Structure 1
């Protein structure tokens, strides 16, 4: 990409490019805020379970958090392409800190019920749409092109270690001490993240020039480009199915841990932490795996891993087996993201990156609220194991589709076409 030519390309070895101080600040921002997010991820369903025993209302907290991915995905992409990304991320992090402080105050004051939880989770999800999109657009401007896979893998490792390991443990422990503490902790981490992002020197150039055809035309430009690109369009749809299956599982996991596995809140936090084992391993080895198997083979392998994890969840009522399954699940999803994010960063034209990325996320993350809602309904009707079993079947179908694509070398052919354009 043209912006990468201005970045340093010094390396500490043939395969270890130096990513620079700006990337380090972005990485620390992701690591710190993800730790707090992990505390909230563990604490929010525990809080909902304290307020109600209806799996549908418990799962609604996840629906509230993920609904903005559908509602605001495309406008967020236009905003990312038109504003100073660094300044926007600082403001969003500060706003999220205030929201979490409000929720903590509500819990302490006795007026923090389900309605407040849903509102705060919805607004936190809105901030997540903006900042996740902005961070992925920012990486190619602060890291050398040769290091994109490594840079994305490191950011994902930080996010998964925080949200999947340290954060849930801290959140479960703090929730046992006082229900408000995990949310107050997350507020503090967002403040730290805002400071770190504000110190990033380089950023994506601001293009505030309005399109001649208006805002609507600008928003649709990313959608039209993505729709015309067979590979990324297909990967977006497959990502939607993966997210539906995965979030249906996560939305009812707290119910499964209490009713089937008979775990305490801390035990639930430990079980969530098992995801980080697979995530960190995947972030370390995913670039090498993609190099060895080819990106087509790596994506097929991720679908097999996720299908295996869902099968174990559906058939083995053991906390140890569920912990192992969650590690396998995280290993698969992180490997998928490492491969697909780099593809988007290299195949999408720079001036459309924010909008095309947001449309991709709209399709892919659109599966999150749908999965959470369906998971809660199915669990209430026939139990949590049925949710996991349906996810296993869906992922088996995805694996077959990816195997067919690998045999046609669809990624290699798409990259060759991009080089000739």
Structure 2
């Protein structure tokens, strides 16, 4: 803090109603919208322009690989650098890359190497921006309001990535595909400018940065593995990512063949998931305050397991939409509260490294879950994969319950 009156300064800049957090949330809203447009438009443009499934798959891999290769060193660097000094260049870089991509597409000269390079560079910059934004979230919201802050982040991210972004991409792509990426560039430009307006007083404390990046990565991973409660929270995140990605990979085929849904109705299931997540983003903090963060996190895993199981067990009209809504509510509640508790359990100088390790675990296991789902469904059935995932989520809730119950009572404030 630069003020001589820390208490007054805290009242000015800390908390979800403070100027600093509101400006950070505005930048998160813009970048979530940009990510939603890109996530819909880039694979669609690749498919339309190449008509090659291998090319579409390669671009998808290029978007994921930076989370496995770059995220850990990015987290270590974020722990050394000012958050705003990381976010502004990252958003600006993504703005420039998407503008170049829009130019290539408008000129009709966007071959596969360009698409691969842009996908990799955009995700690579995102690894820096994501860790820095998470660190800044903690310092702008304050420890006592982490549940509310993460609820707002999850809410705007859900709207941007899963609803508004894809809808905007669908509307613009039919007109001019290049406009999708031009809109994305504008959103990143806004985020860069608005990040510069976040007060500098909220910058978190940084480490000395005198050791090598490799040593600092090992230190962060070592802390995560030694700290029992943190290891439990991050471990459950990875397991849930593995299992839900397996369900998502096979659910479309299951909905068509077993539930008898039309192809046009299948995307509405994902909208129901988003609506459930939105409800969770608004209620998770209140539920945590009423019943305790650990208890609600356990309940969220149980609700998620019941939603997955209902997808197969309750084959009544409308049940699939309700099951997806329940899944979204359970997963959304877990995401809000697990993020808040992970942040609370992590020392401020290690926030970037632990956040990156969490992302690597989640993103690393999601492709594995999706890859396992097909062979398992072929060997058994899609219904068996879905029910198996539901049982395993329930077992995860049971075995993690003691550690989750013991989480800091601050989570219930």
Q: Normalised by the shorter chain, which TM-score bucket?
A: 0.7 to 0.9
Q: Relative to structure 2, which stretch is displaced further, 85-94 or 30-39?
A: 30-39
- Within a 5 Å distance, the mapping from 1:13-412 to structure 2 comes to 19-50=17-48, 58-202=56-200, 203-205=202-204, 207=206, 209-211=208-210, 213-248=211-246, 263=263, 272-311=270-309, 324-374=322-372, 378=375, 382=378, 386=382, 390=385, 392-406=387-401, 408=402, 410-412=403-405
Q: CA deviation at 1:30?
A: 1.0
Taking a change above 3 Å as real, the CA distance of residues 19 and 293 of structure 1, as seen in their structure-2 partners, is same
Q: CA RMSD in A?
A: 3.7
CA distance in 2, matches of 1:297, 1:24: 29
Equivalent pair of 1:175/1:181 in contact (CA under 8 Å): yes
Taking a change above 3 Å as real, the CA distance of residues 368 and 118 of structure 1, as seen in their structure-2 partners, is farther
**Cα offsets for 1:181-219 (capped at 9, x unmatched):** 3222212111111111111113424636333x5332222
CA distance in 1, matches of 2:298, 2:144: 24
The 3-state SS of whatever aligns with 2:334 is helix
Q: CA deviation at 1:261?
A: 5.4
- In the alignment, which residue of structure 2 is the partner of 1:8? 10
Structure 2: gaps spanning 5 or more residues: none
TM-score normalised by structure 1 residue count: 0.81
Q: Relative to structure 2, which stretch is displaced further, 27-36 or 43-52?
A: 43-52
Taking a change above 3 Å as real, the CA distance of residues 195 and 323 of structure 1, as seen in their structure-2 partners, is farther
- In the alignment, which residue of structure 1 is the partner of 2:408? 415
Structure 1: gaps spanning 5 or more residues: 417-421
Q: CA deviation at 1:22?
A: 0.9
**Cα offsets for 1:72-107 (capped at 9, x unmatched):** 222111111111111211111111122222333333
TM-score normalised by structure 2 residue count: 0.82
CA distance in 1, matches of 2:75, 2:333: 24
CA distance in 1, matches of 2:19, 2:371: 41
Taking a change above 3 Å as real, the CA distance of residues 278 and 106 of structure 1, as seen in their structure-2 partners, is same
Q: CA deviation at 1:163?
A: 1.1
Taking a change above 3 Å as real, the CA distance of residues 222 and 40 of structure 1, as seen in their structure-2 partners, is same
Equivalent pair of 1:107/1:113 in contact (CA under 8 Å): no
The 3-state SS of whatever aligns with 2:147 is helix
The 3-state SS of whatever aligns with 2:181 is helix
Equivalent pair of 1:165/1:272 in contact (CA under 8 Å): no
Q: CA deviation at 1:32?
A: 1.8
CA distance in 2, matches of 1:394, 1:326: 14
Equivalent pair of 1:165/1:275 in contact (CA under 8 Å): no
Q: Relative to structure 2, which stretch is displaced further, 25-34 or 357-366?
A: 357-366
* Paired positions, count: 401
